[in-house]
A and B are shown apart, each in its own frame.
Chain A
Amino acid sequence: KAGVTQTPRYLIKTRGQQVTLSCSPISGHRSVSWYQQTPGQGLQFLFEYFSETQRNKGNFPGRFSGRQFSNSRSEMNVSTLELGDSALYLCASSLRGQGNSPLHFGNGTRLTVT
Chain B
Amino acid sequence: GDSVTQMEGPVTLSEEAFLTINCTYTATGYPSLFWYVQYPGEGLQLLLKATKADDKGSNKGFEATYRKETTSFHLEKGSVQVSDSAVYFCALSDPGGSYIPTFGRGTSLIVHP
A binds B: no
Residues of A within 8 A of B (CB): none
